[in-house]
Amino acid sequence: MLLSHDSVFRIVSEIKEMNSVFERPEWMGADWENELKYFLEEVEELEEEGTLDKSLVGSLDALVDICVFAVGALHKAGHDAESTVAEILKAPVVEIRAIHTPEHYRNSAAAVLRTVLLAITTFIGEKRTVECFHEVYLSNMSKLKDGKPVPGNLPGKFGKNMETYFKPDLAKYLA
C-alpha cells in the first residue's frame, strides 16, 4: 500500500519548503541533466549500501535522498505540491536503475517517487515513513545559519552550519 494522500502531501510540502529555503524556488527551471546526475549518485549509493555494505540505514538514507531530489526537480520545474502528489499517486512503479537519460528521468520522476515511497512504506510503515522524512527535513533545516543557506564547495550544493547541524537519526525508524 502506498501512503495516503495526506502523508504524501506532508512529505512533498516539506521537501518543497526545503527547496525554497535553499534557494531552489518553484519555476526556476530544472536542469534535467544535472538532476539526473544527482539521481544516479543516489542510486549508486543505494546499490553500494544495500548490496555491498548491507546497511539498512544507508539504504534508507539513499531512498529518502532519491525522493528529496525527485521532488526538488519537480518543484524547480514548477509543479505545485498538490499536482506532484496527484502525479505520484497515479504513477506506475518503475525500475529506477533503468533510468539513464535526462528526458527519461523528467518523464519518470513521479514514478520514481511512487516506487521509492512504496518501498519505504512497505518496509517501515506509513507513520514511520512520514516521521523519517520529517527527521530529514529537520536535519536539513538545521544546516541554516540565521535562516539562510551556508555556501557549499560545489555548484548547487550547500554547506552546513556546524553550530546547529545534526545528522538525521534514521536508525530509529528501523527498530
> What are the start-end ranges of the H helices in the chain?
5-21, 32-47, 56-76, 81-90, 102-124, 126-141
* Local confidence pLDDT in tens for the 175 residues of the chain: 578 999 999 999 999 998 888 866 555 677 899 899 989 999 998 888 766 657 889 899 999 999 999 999 998 888 999 999 999 999 999 999 999 999 999 999 999 999 999 999 999 999 999 999 999 999 999 999 998 999 887 666 788 999 999 999 999 999 8
In angstroms, rounded to a whole number, what is the distance separating the alpha carbons of residues 78 and 84? 10
Looking up cell 526538488 gives 72
User: What pLDDT sits at residue 154?
Assistant: 66
User: What are the residue ranges spanned by the domains of the chain?
Assistant: 5-173
Looking up cell 526556476 gives 28
CB 12 within 8 A of CB 84: yes
User: What pLDDT sits at residue 22?
Assistant: 80
Please enumerate in sequence order all residues whose Cβ is within 8 A of that of 88, keeping only pairs 6 or more positions apart, or say none.
8, 12, 110, 113, 114, 117
Type of residue found at 165: Y
Dihedral sign of CA atoms 175, 159, 41, 37 in order: positive
Whole-angstrom distance between the N-terminal and C-terminal Cα of the chain?
A: 21
In angstroms, rounded to a whole number, what is the distance separating the alpha carbons of residues 35 and 72? 9
CB 8 within 8 A of CB 117: yes
Rounded alpha-carbon distances, angstroms, from residue 164 to 68, 78, 133: 21, 31, 19
Among residues 14, 68, 17, 140, which one has the least CA distance to residue 150?
Answer: 140
User: What pLDDT sits at residue 30?
Assistant: 76
